[in-house]
Amino acid sequence: MNAALRFIRLATALACIGWMTPALAEVALSTTVQELERVVAPDGSVSSQLVAPDKVVPGDDMHYTITFRNAGKTAVDAGTVVITNPVPENTTYIGESAFGAGTTILFSVDGGTTFRKANELTVVRDGVEVPASANDYTTIRWTFGPALAPGAQGNVSFNVRLK
């Protein structure tokens, strides 16, 4: 048996028992968009409920949920699940709506080149550097802190208003 054939048989045997090609962690993402519909109760109080968007118009609020799931066979290392999502075109981010249990949330005002905590962001207006507002945010980044076991999942979310 020549050396090349021996190598192929050995590689096949090792691959079958998982030594040569270990299963890599795979993170699958899916995004859901819902409308935040305002509901007025008989007592006059106002709340919101998430509904499937039917017809949306400027001024409507939308809720984005990004689900991440470890579709692989090994755990994803702590701190390595990073989700970066631009604020959709023709919308403005609604302040303090970004959420993600177990995540660190950072924002960008420069299209995702740099990220900082919301209270650390600045923009230049009329030649003067001023604190950024939620309207200035262009991109949101969540870093999931814990390890993500095979089959485990989590969600991050944020709200925007249609322009």
Mean of pLDDT values over 130-159: 97
| 3-class secondary structure per residue, 57-109 | CCCCEEEEEEEEEECCCCCECCCCEEEEEECCCCEEECCCCCECCCEEEEEEC
Residue 11: pLDDT band (50, 70, 90) is very low
d(CA 22, CA 5): 22
Tell me what the pLDDT averaged over the chain comes to.
87
- Return the residue matching tokens 């090994």: 74
Mean of pLDDT values over 64-93: 95
Q: Of 153, 163, 152, 158, whose CA–CA distance to 33 is shortest?
A: 158
Residue 83 is predicted with a pLDDT of: 96
Mean of pLDDT values over 78-104: 97
SS3 state of residue 16: helix
Residue 25: pLDDT band (50, 70, 90) is low
* CATH 2.60.40 matches 23-162: yes
Residue 138: pLDDT band (50, 70, 90) is very high
- Please, which contacts does 52-56 make with residues 24 or more away whose CB atoms are closer than 8 Å? 56/162
